[in-house]
A and B are shown apart, each in its own frame.
Chain A
Amino acid sequence: MPDGSGHMQPFLDQALADSASVPGAKVDWLADLRGRGASIYGDRGLPGRRDEYWRYTNLNALGKNDFELANGGPAVDVPALPHRAVAELASYRIVFVNGRLRPDLCVLDDMPDGVLIAGLGDMIAAAPDRLEPVLGQGLDLHEMPLAALNTAFMRDGMVLFVDAGVDVDKPVHLVSITVPGETPLMLQPRHLVVLGDAAKATLIESHIGSDEGAYFNNLVSEISIGEGAELNHYTFQEEGPAAVHIAATALNLAAAATYDGFLLQSGGLIGRVETRAILNGSDADCRLDGIYLGTGEQVLDTTTYVEHVAAGCRSRQVYKGVLDGKARGVFQGKIHVRPDAQQTDGHQLSRALLLSPRAEIDTRPELEIYADDVKCSHGATAGELDAEALFYLMSRGIPAEAARRILIEAFVGEALSEIRLSQVAEDFSAHVRNWLSANITVNTAD
């Protein structure tokens, strides 16, 4: 599938070379789906400045690197999970190392009836029929060229199926650990979450990587939430410092479904998390919140698209960013209200703190509205810490550095305050504190 210039799009050759031998190569629908991904990505290639929603995040460097498709390997040393509270939390844990399921590290005992947690690779081998109605159904590959690339490659990832009416008794913890060797690694994990009507689950995702070595983690999650079902979803993006983390989540909500998502991004050289939420059924409720903490030359991109298709749905987004060094933050958020989506209530807020004269924030909140009986708004602010507040604290004897930390913590703390699961909130807070003490040094004399 050459592009216009006659060159193969980056990475595609590996997928095509593999296509006859991957698990499920003989399953027709799956081969077709992979082929469709390859074809769409082949036409589009890596997104660049010409793509409206990629103008602030440049992936040119990716195309120049030779990435080797990650293939697990039990020999690597697995770093300890940095999330202490979550690690101690009783949960079902599914662990991937270098893109492959590691059954020896998983904790999946005593799963209740109606709950299935498994590796996608195993599912493809054992029960592809269960995947057919859902895999690749929930996302528009044309809108997400890198999800198309992932589709061409997909071979492993997490499958979480919860039957109608089942309330999963413990959180499900998805851990992705990447430890590259000499050659840069490429990962194409594919996760699938399907909640039946009135089901309930909590999903925690931890993405961590080793401090050394480059890798490209291009993951896609398809999440479908049935009528009246509820998913709480917390994500730690703490990839290694040389990583490129591109995550695309396709979220489909049926009537009266609830999704409550919180994302912490602070890892990787480039981190981009894109969520496309489609509110298909009336009275659905979708929350997308998050914080991002950037330093060095990081680019941290949070992109959301919330489409109100049905009437009476509610969506809320609050994102807060703290940027130091030469880091660049990107927030792009669009609320799209279809003509039939009357009584839509959609709000979005993006706030960024710039701590250094070389940091940058690019924000693009967007409303596209075709229904008249709606309440929609967005707000965006960017700036530094409030000088008056800083002075006030210092005038009470608090040293400058501590005062700055207090104010930054308060700034992001507001976003953390609504997290329901206390262990998760605790780890998020701990992460913020660690980040601040590692990165926030004071240049003003006390």
Chain B
Amino acid sequence: MALLEIRNLHATVDDKPILNGVDLTIDAGEVHAIMGPNGSGKSTLSYVLSGRDGYEVTDGEVIYDGKDLLEMAADERAREGVFLAFQYPVEIPGVAGLTFLKTAANALRTHRGEGELDAMDFLKFVRGKAEALDINDEMLKRAVNEGFSGGEKKRMEILQMAVLEPKLAILDETDSGLDIDALKVVSDGVNALRGPERGMLLITHYQRLLDYIVPDRVHVLAHGRIVKSGDKDLALELEAKGYGEFMEAAE
């Protein structure tokens, strides 16, 4: 059974059609990349999958882990294992990062019927994962994303993913705003989380990210539809030729 099956997905934002029939299947253990020019609907797809308000599904369906994903509220999807690494992580003043992580992790553990971790155990658990991402205690104590650099924000997103251990991770433009060193740290973090139980969907504009996180499948999104799919070489082809040809094909 596929982990995620998107069938003929149509969605609008403010009554404007953005997704016009997306079909996509991701099996557990696979990493897929969706590439496309600005305005092709990449971020909309990530928001529709994660259940953000204001994105209306007008047709089609999404089956996740055997369940109707679109029926679930945003937080329910998260607790069922859908994780979105945001392109622009949100600042929450006054809420310490560690508090935020612990609240989220315990919401998840409660949902799975596991006991909540106490403060000390949780701190140990997080520290182990944070180290690999160059995140120290001081960063964890600061308010969520407040005053963070672009790279720090993205590292915190990956830390949250590592802590929450999702079944399906959607990474929206995770490479944007990162220099090469930061990109490497983040990519190592993501690669460490690849596993047979987990599916990933990388959303990116550039091929660069795919040098570090090598996908099993690459799809081109244009005008709200997947116009071409292939293996990792498709990304290189795109890099060489640009999106023009595919855009035309979509029209």
Do A and B touch each other in the complex, judged by CB within 8 A? no
Residues of B within 8 A of A (CB): none
